[in-house]
């Protein structure tokens, strides 16, 4: 489900469903882009009033907050930087465990 929303209702973490074009027809924000703080400026400059985002929008912005939370939990456990692909694998396994236990807590 897509939703046509006003720029005033746009929040970080929402996903753009239809490419946003300026008055000359050039794509300024592509489909699938996750809205971040920096995009608001671009939209304002080009005077965009409405845009189409992917539903469910509230879940998407919530997910973004969750991701930050999970990343913080990971940083508490792992205080080193991976030096090879095996260490990257260990970090991704740690993230899986954190995700699993956070599901139980919610």
Partner 1 sequence: MNISEKLINSINNLPTLPTLYNVITEAIEDPYSTNTKLANIILTDQSTTMKVLKVANSPLYGFHGKIDSISDAILYIGRNEIKNIVLTLSIISSFSKRINLKGFRPIDLWAHSIAVGVISRNIAQALGEKKLENYFLAGILHDIGKIIFLEYAVEEYKKVFELAKKKEIIINDAEKQILGINHEEIGQLLAKKWRIPETIQNVILYHSKGSILKTPDFLVSIVHLSNIIAHILELGYSGYDIIQQPSPIIWDTLKIKKGMITSLKDKIINDYTNTVKLIIL
- Contact residues for partner 1 (CB under 8 A)? 76-80, 83-87, 89-90, 92-94, 97, 101
Give the shortest CB-104-to-partner 1 separation in angstroms. Answer: 11
Question: Which has the closest alpha carbon to 1: 21, 14, 17, 13?
Answer: 17
Nearer to partner 1, 85 or 105 (CB): 85
Strands 50-54 and 2-6: antiparallel
Write out the E strands in the chain: 2-6, 20-21, 27-29, 50-54
Q: Which is nearer to partner 1, 49 or 79 (CB)?
A: 79
Q: Is the CB of 86 or the CB of 106 nearer to partner 1? A: 86
């Amino acid at each position: 489900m897509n939703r046509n929303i006003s720029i005033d209702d746009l929040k970080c973490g929402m996903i753009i469903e239809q490419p946003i074009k300026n008055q000359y027809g050039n794509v300024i924000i592509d489909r699938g882009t996750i809205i971040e703080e920096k995009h608001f400026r671009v939209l304002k400059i080009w005077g965009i009033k409405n845009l189409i985002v992917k539903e469910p929008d509230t879940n998407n912005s919530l997910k973004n907050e969750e991701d930050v939370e999970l990343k913080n939990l990971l940083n508490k456990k792992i205080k080193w930087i991976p030096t090879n692909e095996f260490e990257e694998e260990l970090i991704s396994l740690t993230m899986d465990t954190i995700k699993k236990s956070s599901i139980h807590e919610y």
